[in-house]
Amino acid sequence: MRSILALCLLLALSAPAQADRSPRPWPEAGGRGSAEGGAMSLDAAVALARRETGGKVLSAETVNDGGRLVHRVKVLTPDQRVRVLRYPARR
């Protein structure tokens, strides 16, 4: 039981450092990944947000951001902060 509590405490203390990382810049067209310059499906954006933050996804939607389609993913991080992440969407 103590080892489980120690593991939970260790994970809780290490999570804020990961959650506070600034998001990576979007790949440019022709970059690594798809021919669409890193554009992804909404499901892929949700999975990436969950993996990058270790948090719980609260909502996800595709929106027009200044003529550019982006996936907006709202996440509750392990340190109980809400973050909104944006990822390039497929057209």
24-59 pLDDT tens trace = 444 433 233 344 467 899 999 999 999 999 999 999
**First-to-final CA distance of the chain:** 50
Tell me what the pLDDT averaged over the chain comes to: 76
Residue 80 corresponds to which tokens in the numbers above? Answer: 């109980």
Query: Which residues contact residue 50 at a Cβ distance below 8 angstroms, ignoring those fewer than 6 apart?
Result: 56, 57, 75
Q: With a threshold of 0.75, does the pTM exceed it?
A: no
Q: What is the mean pLDDT of residues 65-79?
A: 95
